[in-house]
Structure 1
């Protein structure tokens, strides 16, 4: 998952304008879907849904097409859902390009994240009922479609009284932020975290979750004409400090640490020189966790940081975390419950975006492929 995080939301109804980056809609599909039950139809009927499909890997704006897809019969342990909103994340783009760590069988429906409403349940379904909202438990479910028939175990419920866009974008960025703040260092109120890509979806979630826990955040963003405006927006959601990349190498960072403790944890979504600079400012024994590489440059670790500061260099991928914990869903459930509680309290909100019609999905995909673009769109069903 890289960082510039353009997410787009699709809905079968009107989508509220609070969303994240650029998005497209669709529904979920069986993880093991194959051509035999993935027939693409010229016309739509009650047994079909509309989906953004790709048959080959490549440029998303070229290989993704809006088509009709047949729905399988509802099994005893299946649920029929309609997708309410589904974002475009960088991992979605990488998957279509064929460069992601996991790839679905082709043809495939795009989208790893979203929220759907249960329409009908099979006779043996116990954990869900009609009207429930659900999100995918894992990646590769194919959320860019209007409806799907899914195994009960492939989805997990979320409250239906939180904002739609927050629900649709809950499973990747907030979960990534939550786990990185929880699993690598013992952070207490008053401690500090430093991160680059602070305006990304993950970055904004880090700011808000950390603020709710009383943890200081030092947020690094690229210099730009609207730096002051962006800095004010990040501070409004809880950022303690917002600085430019260049400040990491200047005297002002030393002044900052006179009033704020050096960070125990650094979160790197960029790589390259930016990651090296984060390392330099860690406390002795601190950790840098890399979850993305927007610069497409390797992470370079100074020997002095390893020898004299004993820093730890780690990586994190939320998909892997979910799979490790798939045998016991209690950790996932507890995390979602805490995140949803923050959402209800107004302490965790999704970044804003505008909306476009479903037919304009090509433009939304193009926008999502621009790593430094500020364009934010939503595809509406």
Structure 2
């Protein structure tokens, strides 16, 4: 190296050793690879609540080598769920976790609650996980829209067997499939041949319920929003997953629906015991009317933002129960069952018996710009996606 270039190179080395988060720009931006064991992390975070496009910013910080109980993670895939967006807007029951540990002047929260990461380094006291293992988050509020993180085993569930699985499949297992699984199991004792009815049937939870129901011998009536294009295609897609009947919301609210249901359920001899609701509004009453005495409507979302109004006659004379389900609360109360549930769904995925939802991958690399990431989140809100938005991490 010529003497004139040796000094800047030496200076850079010294500066890096004292401040590993410094990166140096030549003609193009280069990724400063974990200088002295430090990881350069980027997070998509917020310092105040509001619309994603207004509050989300890309922030860089460095992570020191892990000691003691700490381990360092590199994220592989993190979905963009509606609840993540509601949290950013401040309209969700749990608020994002704000912290000053990421090197910002004001407290910052990292977006995202679900995802899968790989362990890339661990402190001397860490047991039960090895470098290269995949992990998912134990509960909500971790902040998964980031390239790297440092945490302890308290926050994580290790995916013991990831053979034959893609990061996108593992990264989306703990919210939608879990919600469908628990709602089908925990409210009504369903036996083979029983029916359930659900709205939002082409959502992530809806598709999971169709498939799990089919595997357990249950039959399903699936309600989707009427659309001008691709209606037939959507029906075939859901039937391909195991849907017995696919109808539109208009059909369900029409006068002839009761007769249609009678025909479907063997002259009304087969009971519809359970209804799953993520829409709200008048459609819920139309569903509740089809239930057998003592049936349950379980609400897990409110996409129409309209309330569920309860017809008194159904409560008194048919003893219809109206329940709510929130997967975050269930997961926190039942960590052991959650792990078993995750394992079961991943086993089914591996065997080809459970298909993940159509996904619209957003690549997140070291050079990915803030605008691209924010647009992906905002786009989910505006319904522009052809599938579930998910950050898939490349070279970070």
Which bin holds the TM-score, normalised by the shorter protein? 0.7 to 0.9
Secondary structure of the corresponding residue to residue 136 of structure 2: strand
| Superposition deviation, residue 376 in structure 1 | 5.0
Q: Tell me the distance in 1 between the aligned counterparts of 2:64 and 2:276.
A: 42
Secondary structure of the corresponding residue to residue 292 of structure 1: coil
| Superposition deviation, residue 356 in structure 1 | 3.8
Q: Which residue of the partner structure matches residue 34 of structure 1?
A: none
Q: Which residue of the partner structure matches residue 374 of structure 2?
A: 362
| Superposition deviation, residue 377 in structure 1 | 4.4
- Residues 197 and 270 in structure 1, CA contact (< 8 A), matched pair in contact too: yes
Q: Which of 324, 329, 332 is 1:315 aligned to?
A: 324
Correspondences of 1:37-56 after superposition (within 5 Å) = 43=23, 45=32, 46=34, 47=38, 48-56=40-48
Q: Which of 263, 273, 276 is 1:267 aligned to?
A: 276
- Residues 297 and 321 in structure 2, CA contact (< 8 A), matched pair in contact too: yes
Q: Which of 172, 175, 179 is 2:175 aligned to?
A: 172
- Residues 279 and 301 in structure 1, CA contact (< 8 A), matched pair in contact too: no
1:160 paired to 2:162: yes
Q: Which residue of the partner structure matches residue 343 of structure 1?
A: 349
CA RMSD of aligned residues (A): 1.8
- Residues 194 and 278 in structure 1, CA contact (< 8 A), matched pair in contact too: yes
- Residues 367 and 375 in structure 1, CA contact (< 8 A), matched pair in contact too: no
Change in Cα spacing, 1:78 to 1:218, as seen in structure 2 (3 Å) is same
Q: Tell me the distance in 1 between the aligned counterparts of 2:382 and 2:122.
A: 40
- Give ranges in structure 1 of 5+ residues lacking alignment: 1-40
Superposed CA deviations along residues 247-274 of structure 1, whole A, max 9, x for unmatched, are: 2233244233334223111000001112
| Superposition deviation, residue 122 in structure 1 | 2.2
Q: Which of 280, 285, 289 is 2:289 aligned to?
A: 280
- Residues 41 and 61 in structure 2, CA contact (< 8 A), matched pair in contact too: yes
Correspondences of 1:287-298 after superposition (within 5 Å) = 287-298=296-307
Q: Which of 256, 261, 274 is 2:261 aligned to?
A: 256
- Residues 139 and 331 in structure 2, CA contact (< 8 A), matched pair in contact too: yes
Q: Which residue of the partner structure matches residue 144 of structure 2?
A: 143
Q: Which residue of the partner structure matches residue 132 of structure 2?
A: 131
- Residues 294 and 371 in structure 1, CA contact (< 8 A), matched pair in contact too: no
| Superposition deviation, residue 283 in structure 1 | 0.9
| Superposition deviation, residue 354 in structure 1 | 3.2
Q: Which residue of the partner structure matches residue 239 of structure 2?
A: 235
Q: Which of 68, 81, 93 is 2:85 aligned to?
A: 93
Q: Tell me the distance in 1 between the aligned counterparts of 2:198 and 2:276.
A: 5
Bigger shift: 117-126 or 291-300? 117-126
Q: Tell me the distance in 2 between the aligned counterparts of 1:133 and 1:79.
A: 12
- Residues 126 and 153 in structure 2, CA contact (< 8 A), matched pair in contact too: yes
TM-score (norm 2): 0.81
- Residues 118 and 134 in structure 1, CA contact (< 8 A), matched pair in contact too: yes
Change in Cα spacing, 1:378 to 1:175, as seen in structure 2 (3 Å) is closer
Q: Which residue of the partner structure matches residue 14 of structure 2?
A: none
Q: Which residue of the partner structure matches residue 120 of structure 2?
A: 119
Change in Cα spacing, 1:221 to 1:253, as seen in structure 2 (3 Å) is farther
Superposed CA deviations along residues 311-359 of structure 1, whole A, max 9, x for unmatched, are: 111100011011112xxx3212211121112111212111123334433
How many residue pairs were aligned?
A: 338
| Superposition deviation, residue 135 in structure 1 | 0.5
| Superposition deviation, residue 374 in structure 1 | 4.7
Q: Which has the higher contact order (CA 8 A, sep 6+)?
A: 1
1:198 paired to 2:222: no
Q: Which residue of the partner structure matches residue 15 of structure 1?
A: none
| Superposition deviation, residue 121 in structure 1 | 2.3
| Superposition deviation, residue 165 in structure 1 | 1.2
Q: Tell me the distance in 2 between the aligned counterparts of 1:69 and 1:279.
A: 52
Rg (Cα) greater in structure: 2
Q: Tell me the distance in 2 between the aligned counterparts of 1:287 and 1:274.
A: 15
Q: Which residue of the partner structure matches residue 78 of structure 1?
A: 70
